[in-house]
Structure 1
Amino acid sequence: MFKTQEDMSRGIAAAFAILDRWRLSQAEVNGVLGFPFGTQVAEWRRGELSSMPSDVVRRFGYVVAIYRVIQKLPTGIDWLRQPIPDLDNQSPLVRMSSGDVEDLRIVRDRFERILKRQQA
């Protein structure tokens, strides 16, 4: 996903900025990141990325992808906590913070589908 350590550092910092912009609680951030242990999230926020598992890097990639798609939708940040039919009437946040990386992919895919319908 990232070609260099510097690219990874910038990408992870951008993903944390997105999570902050979405005003997630620490519990929600932990769920999105797969429930990391102890002080790992604080270490990653400080740029200490050597202990970051590849699935967490993948999760950050999904966060950025979701953000890019929703920037094109007219719903604003309100979409995050509102149930939507394309997610079996669950909110994107509930799905994203379940701890399952596949739920992040599902949210991304659903928003891409919603965007395509709106552009058609």
Structure 2
Amino acid sequence: MLAQKSKTFPENIDKDKLNQVALKTFFNICKQWEIDNYKDQMILLGLSSESTFYKWKNNLDGKLSKDTLERISYLIGIYKALKILLPYSAKSWIKTKNPIFNNSSPLIIMLNGNVADLFIVRNYLDAERGSLYD
């Protein structure tokens, strides 16, 4: 039996276009949530290079790592869940202290810099979305 190669994306996907759309979406989410501090944006993207950050921001161009795409994917999921759960207060929810997160805001949790922290916030919101249908 032959082992099959794991694929992250279909082979025919235009990765440059994917990266462009991911970056555009990321910066739009930051704008809507009023995350204006570029250092906070860099943390959310998992970046340490300011020059790379500004290249991405100004040109919506860059080769994104799997880690960065995963981070953006979690943020898109968080954004979507908040649009469903709290369509008029998503921005304030992100920045409001929450006992679920040990009295930190979800944004502070996400700014710890770990992909796992984005997962925690996303997982919580997905569970809340699921409870809508119980």
Q: TM-score, normalised by structure 1?
A: 0.86
- SS of the equivalent of 1:103 reads helix
Residue 60 of structure 2 corresponds to residue 47 of structure 1 = yes
Give the corresponding residue for 1:64. Answer: 76
Name 2:104's counterpart in structure 1: 90
| Correspondence list, 1:3-22, <5 A | 3-4=13-14, 5-22=16-33
Higher relative contact order (CA 8 A, sep 6+): 1
Q: TM-score, normalised by structure 2?
A: 0.78
The answer to whether the 8 A contact 2:47-2:53 is kept is no
Unaligned regions of 5+ residues in structure 1, if any?
none
Runs of 4+ residues over 6 Å off in structure 1? none
8 Å Cα contact 1:96-1:103 kept in structure 2: yes
* Structure 2 residues without counterparts, runs of 5 or longer: 1-7
The residue type paired with residue 107 of structure 1 is V
Contact 2:19–2:61 at 8 Å: present in 1 too? no
User: How many residues end up aligned between the 2 structures?
Assistant: 119
